[in-house]
């Protein structure tokens, strides 16, 4: 008898229930819910809407997905969502997707190709309608995705890939503009901190640095190849500072690396920008609140996210090749200094 208090496990409300309650057929409920494809008389429509409200009916997405063959789900794979750049990109993607009624399954590859492949498998079997991939390698294995006919958009790329849409910023031009700014400050010895991998955006960032130097007739500065992380930047900073004649300015090709560089500089008790200037690439929030605030080449993350979501939801996606490149913006803050450094 005491067990009578047990809460009845409510069976979820279905379209059947709504139809019955409103005294119409299930088809009509469908027409109302989806605003089509058939018209419904205003009076009937009102009845159905009432029933929906009263019963607190919510369409079953799984059933809908099964019927339509579309889940309204996007898959997103990034190396590390904890990295502010990817965190901001992911956030922007989520917003852009949400605006289109799409939800996103966010996953982390930890920068490992194997893990990335596993994730793709899982996402495919979840019937995602599109895949946004910031891949570890230059040539991700997309055979399974292609076989499943899922549109793909590559993120964080410096060029298109065979038959795919890719989005990125103009890393080369951005880097060049940043380094040129350093040169305008009078610097002639500008070091580079950049990723360890060859190709990809790393090469483009490096190329921009080189171009700016060449343009100004300056000699190539010292380079430190390290991981795209704070730790990597720290290591790079130490290496550059320990040279016989350290550069007077450093271009770090990502915010994370710049943060690490700053730490290395602070540890040697040099002043930024008076003893050494620093400039970074990405423009994530963290660059604004470092000490000193970093001059940075900002990527238009929101524009890129929107473009990526747009592209992946277009019919033509997956069957076209296109590279969507976005311009960067030089955000000038304190780390690059006001005056040329004399040493």
Partner DNA sequence: ATGAAAGCGCTAACAT
Partner DNA sequence: ATGTTAGCGCTTTCAT
Cβ-contact 251, 181 below 8 angstroms: no
Instruction: Give which of a second copy, DNA, none residue 39 binds (C-beta under 5 to 8 Å, depending on kind).
Output: DNA
Q: Does 59 bind DNA (CB under 7 A)?
A: yes
Question: Stretches 15-23, 152-160, 200-208, 304-312: which one binds DNA (CB under 7 A)?
Answer: 15-23
Nearer to DNA, 71 or 169 (CB): 71
Q: Does 41 bind DNA (CB under 7 A)?
A: yes
Q: Which of 67, 245, 339, 342 binds DNA (CB under 7 A)?
A: 67
Instruction: Give which of a second copy, DNA, none residue 90 binds (C-beta under 5 to 8 Å, depending on kind).
Output: a second copy
277 vs 64, 88, 114, 186, 204, CA distance in Å? 57, 26, 39, 11, 22
Which of 292, 288, 245, 286 has the alpha carbon at shortest distance from 265?
A: 292
Cβ-contact 54, 267 below 8 angstroms: no
Q: Does 274 bind a second copy (CB under 8 A)?
A: no
Q: Does 107 bind a second copy (CB under 8 A)?
A: yes
Task: Round to whole Å and give the CA distance between 240 and 183.
Answer: 18
Size of interface with a second copy, in residues (CB under 8 A): 57
Cβ-contact 208, 175 below 8 angstroms: yes
Q: Does 124 bind a second copy (CB under 8 A)?
A: yes
Q: In the chain, what's the furthest Cα-to-Cα distance? A: 92
Instruction: Give which of DNA, a second copy, none residue 111 binds (C-beta under 5 to 8 Å, depending on kind).
Output: none
- Distance of closest approach, residue 284 Cβ to a second copy, in angstroms: 9
Question: Stretches 45-53, 56-64, 179-187, 210-218: which one binds a second copy (CB under 8 A)?
Answer: 56-64
Task: Round to whole Å and give the CA distance between 334 and 30.
Answer: 59
- Distance of closest approach, residue 55 Cβ to DNA, in angstroms: 11
Task: Round to whole Å and give the CA distance between 319 and 317.
Answer: 5
Q: Does 121 bind a second copy (CB under 8 A)?
A: yes
Task: Round to whole Å and give the CA distance between 155 and 134.
Answer: 5
- Distance of closest approach, residue 15 Cβ to DNA, in angstroms: 3
Concatenating the DSSP letter of every residue in 132-200 gives: EE--SSSS---HHHHHTT--EEE-S-SS-BTTBEEEEE-HHHHHHHHHHHHHHTT---EEEEE-SSSSH
- Distance of closest approach, residue 13 Cβ to DNA, in angstroms: 8
Instruction: Give which of DNA, a second copy, none residue 10 binds (C-beta under 5 to 8 Å, depending on kind).
Output: a second copy
Q: Does 26 bind DNA (CB under 7 A)?
A: yes
Cis omega (within 30 of 0) for bond into 273: yes
- Distance of closest approach, residue 138 Cβ to a second copy, in angstroms: 25
Q: Does 121 bind DNA (CB under 7 A)?
A: no
Task: Round to whole Å and give the CA distance between 19 and 221.
Answer: 74
Nearer to a second copy, 271 or 332 (CB): 271
Task: Round to whole Å and give the CA distance between 22 and 221.
Answer: 76
Helix (H) or strand (E) holding 106: strand 103-108
Judged by the rule CB under 8 A, the positions of this chain that interact with a second copy are 7, 9-10, 12, 56, 58-63, 65-66, 71, 80-82, 84, 87-88, 90-91, 94-95, 98, 103-108, 121-122, 124-127, 144, 147-149, 230, 234, 259-260, 262-263, 266, 285-286, 288-293, 319
Judged by the rule CB under 7 A, the positions of this chain that interact with DNA are 11-12, 14-16, 23-31, 33-34, 36-41, 43-45, 59-60, 63-64, 66-69
């Amino acid at each position: 008898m005491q067990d009578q208090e047990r809460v009845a496990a409510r069976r979820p409300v279905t379209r059947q229930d709504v139809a019955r309650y409103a005294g119409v057929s299930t088809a009509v409920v469908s027409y109302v819910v989806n605003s089509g494809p058939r018209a419904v008389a205003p009076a009937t429509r009102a009845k159905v809407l009432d029933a929906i409200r009263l019963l607190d009916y919510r369409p079953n997405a799984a059933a809908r997905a099964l019927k339509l063959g579309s889940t309204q789900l996007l898959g997103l794979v990034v190396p590390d969502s904890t990295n502010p750049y990817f965190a901001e990109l992911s956030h922007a993607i989520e917003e852009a997707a949400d605006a289109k009624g799409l939800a996103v399954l966010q996953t982390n590859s930890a920068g490992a190709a194997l893990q990335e492949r596993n994730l793709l498998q899982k996402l495919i079997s979840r019937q995602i309608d599109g895949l946004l991939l910031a891949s570890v390698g230059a040539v991700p294995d997309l055979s399974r995705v292609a076989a499943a006919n899922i549109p793909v958009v590559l993120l964080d790329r410096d060029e298109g890939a065979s038959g795919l849409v890719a989005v990125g910023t103009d890393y080369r031009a951005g880097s060049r503009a940043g380094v040129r700014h350093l040169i305008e400050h009078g610097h002639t010895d500008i070091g580079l901190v950049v990723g360890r991998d060859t190709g990809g955006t790393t090469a483009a960032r490096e190329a921009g640095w080189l171009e700016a130097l060449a343009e100004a007739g300056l000699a190539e500065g010292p380079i430190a190849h390290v991981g795209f992380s704070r730790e990597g930047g720290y290591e790079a900073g130490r290496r550059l500072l320990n040279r016989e004649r350290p550069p007077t300015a450093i271009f770090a090709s990502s915010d994370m690396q710049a943060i690490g560089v700053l730490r290395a500089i602070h540890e040697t008790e040099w002043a930024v920008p008076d003893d050494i200037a620093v400039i970074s690439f990405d423009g994530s929030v963290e660059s604004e609140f470092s000490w000193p605030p970093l001059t940075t080449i900002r990527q238009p993350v929101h524009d890129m996210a929107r473009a990526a979501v747009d592209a992946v939801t277009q019919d033509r996606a997956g069957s076209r090749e296109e590279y969507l490149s976005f311009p960067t913006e030089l955000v000038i803050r304190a780390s690059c200094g006001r005056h040329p450094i004399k040493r």
